[in-house]
């Protein structure tokens, strides 16, 4: 035993001698700055003459910050960690790298912060590859037209405000009108659709995010999803970089030829965090105290969502940014900025929400500037007539409240419209397949539900959907695959729906 210990000691000494012989000390210049001032989420640093914009710098205690302002006398830094223990006089060192985040397949199913640090208690995420959080958007010649639909599973959206893969569709409305619910249902509907989903929570309450994650797990959506969280109690800098970091993680999959959906919830909080940082660092304020480049921070983010050309792999990144309006003011500063950047908007009305029309989508104020070209052919005949008749109904309903005597045709339009509105209602967490949507919408358009009471529509819908799946399975599959329906196909759908409603009446 003593001999073994002696041999190990001799070997160790030999290795140490070899290392000391081969070691050649080098002199290395390192820039060291000094903290002059610490504020709420920001710091001003003196020194670091060679530091670059958006470079990550390290404070004592391994706290990180990102260079935000490059002034002649000092450097403005936004703090990516909580700064209670940071004080003036502390030394600061450069890292030599811009802000980057880990990317890779191992992120799927995880909950992380914008820096890629795990928040779900399942251990660290080991990813060798890192990419900058801020990246240039794909060039025009690298993009392809938006041609494939992204089905949300919601009748009112898929039929009247369709979304394509690679589109940017804004969801806006007052608080508590169901904006996140639409995004959540869309993520749940991507199960078995080969679409990767990323939910980016910006400035949300931790309890709300925890509920959403629990819902994703309940409906087995976390398997193909990633949640990036910068909660409301996190530093404003972390909330500011969150959407850019989440987009970089999404681009990794897009560049592999995959279809990706990203939800930004919400960009109102993102704009406010940027305003807070800018004012603390004494950038000149503009309208509503927002800095002058407030439009650019969102345009450079949303321009990264696109459908890549086949030469670039053919992947797509679909964005659903969410913003909150106040008192239904669609002409507010941030709202108008984002409406002009995106390819359409889904507006949720508090009036419809209070009436129990859920999802509370205002069809008149909502629009999709791209999705119509991507919509499955089976929707074409149904959706065109439906949108027109529903818009007429909404105008007539307002007019009819004045007690005016109405002719028979107007009364029929009102009755049909009420049934259409009832059909467009849909409970949360219950996305509906394309074929079932087509069947129900065609049936209500053709007057199959006209003889039913409004309160009976929900049950009648379920009967029609079940009958279609049981009696026309091949047609349902063809609709899903993008087949153009013939008149005979519509006749078959109408017959099945009519017979199903007739049987229901006879059973009563």
Q: Is 175 marked as binding a ligand? A: yes
Q: Is 408 marked as binding a ligand? A: no
Q: Is 173 marked as binding a ligand? A: yes
Q: Is 342 marked as binding a ligand? A: no
Q: Is 47 marked as binding a ligand? A: no
State the Rg of the chain over Cα.
28
369 given a catalytic annotation: yes
Catalytic residue among 369, 380, 401, 418: 369
**266 cis-preceded (ω within 30 degrees of 0):** yes
Q: Is 3 marked as binding a ligand? A: no
Q: Is 178 exposed, middle or buried (0-12, 13-18, 19+ CB in 10 A)?
A: buried
Q: Is 426 marked as binding a ligand? A: no
DSSP one-letter string for 366-411: -EESSGGGTS-HHHHHHHHHHHHHHHHHHHHHHHHTT-----HHHH
How many helices (H) and strands (E) would you count in the chain? 15, 16
Q: Which pairs from 442-445 meet CB under 8 Å and 24+ separation? A: 442/381, 442/382, 442/490, 442/493, 442/494, 442/497, 443/493, 443/494, 443/497, 443/498, 444/416, 444/419, 444/420, 445/382, 445/385, 445/386, 445/389, 445/420
285 bridge partner residues: 291
Cβ–Cβ under 8 Å, residues 261 and 197: yes
Q: Is 474 marked as binding a ligand? A: no
Annotated binding site: 173-180
Annotated binding site for ATP: 173-180
What residues act catalytically? Answer: 369
């Amino acid at each position: 035993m003593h001999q073994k210990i002696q041999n190990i000691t001799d070997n160790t000494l030999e290795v140490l001698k070899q290392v000391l012989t081969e070691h050649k000390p080098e002199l290395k210049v390192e820039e060291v700055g000094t903290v002059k001032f610490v504020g709420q989420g920001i710091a001003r640093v003196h020194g670091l003459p060679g530091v670059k914009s958006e470079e990550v710098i390290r404070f004592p205690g391994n706290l990180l910050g990102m260079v935000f302002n490059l002034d002649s006398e000092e450097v403005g830094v936004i703090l990516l960690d909580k700064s209670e223990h940071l004080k003036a006089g502390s030394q600061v060192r450069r890292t030599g790298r811009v802000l980057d985040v880990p990317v890779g397949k191992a992120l799927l199913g995880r909950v992380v912060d914008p820096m890629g640090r795990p928040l779900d208690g399942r251990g660290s995420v080991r990813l060798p590859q890192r990419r900058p959080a801020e990246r240039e958007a794909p060039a025009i010649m690298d993009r392809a037209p938006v041609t494939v639909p992204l089905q949300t599973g919601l009748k009112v959206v898929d039929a009247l405000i369709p979304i394509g893969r690679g589109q940017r569709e804004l969801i806006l409305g007052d608080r508590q009108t169901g904006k996140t619910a639409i995004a959540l249902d869309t993520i749940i509907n991507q199960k078995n659709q080969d679409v990767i989903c990323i939910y980016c929570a910006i400035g949300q309450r931790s309890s709300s995010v925890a509920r959403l994650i629990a819902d994703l797990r309940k409906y087995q959506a976390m398997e193909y999803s990633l949640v990036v969280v910068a909660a409301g109690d996190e530093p404003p800098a972390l909330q500011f970089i969150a959407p850019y970091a989440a987009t970089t993680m999404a681009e990794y999959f897009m560049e592999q030829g995959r279809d990706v959906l990203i939800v930004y919830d919400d960009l109102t909080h993102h704009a406010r965090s940027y305003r807070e940082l800018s004012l603390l660092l004494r950038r000149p304020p503009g309208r509503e105290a927002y800095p002058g480049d407030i439009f650019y921070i969102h345009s450079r983010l949303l321009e990264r969502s696109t459908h890549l050309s086949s030469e670039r792999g053919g992947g797509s990144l679909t964005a659903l940014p969410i913003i909150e309006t106040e008192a239904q003011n669609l002409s507010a500063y941030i709202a108008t900025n984002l409406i002009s950047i995106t390819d359409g908007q889904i507006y949720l009305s508090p009036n419809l929400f209070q009436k129990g029309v859920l999802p509370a989508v205002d069809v008149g104020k909502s629009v999709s500037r791209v999705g119509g070209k991507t919509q499955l052919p089976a929707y074409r005949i149904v959706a065109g007539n439906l949108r027109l008749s529903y818009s007429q109904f909404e105008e007539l309903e307002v007019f009819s409240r004045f007690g005016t005597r109405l002719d028979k045709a107007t009364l029929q339009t009102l009755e049909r419209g009420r049934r259409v509105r009832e059909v467009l209602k849909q409970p949360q967490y219950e996305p509906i397949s394309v074929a079932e949507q087509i069947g129900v919408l065609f049936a209500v358009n053709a007057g199959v539900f006209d003889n039913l009471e409004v309160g009976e529509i929900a049950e009648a819908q379920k009967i029609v959907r079940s009958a279609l799946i049981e009696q026309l399975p091949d047609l349902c599959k063809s609709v899903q695959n993008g087949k153009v329906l013939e008149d005979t196909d519509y006749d078959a759908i109408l017959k099945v729906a009519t017979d199903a409603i007739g049987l229901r009446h006879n059973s009563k």
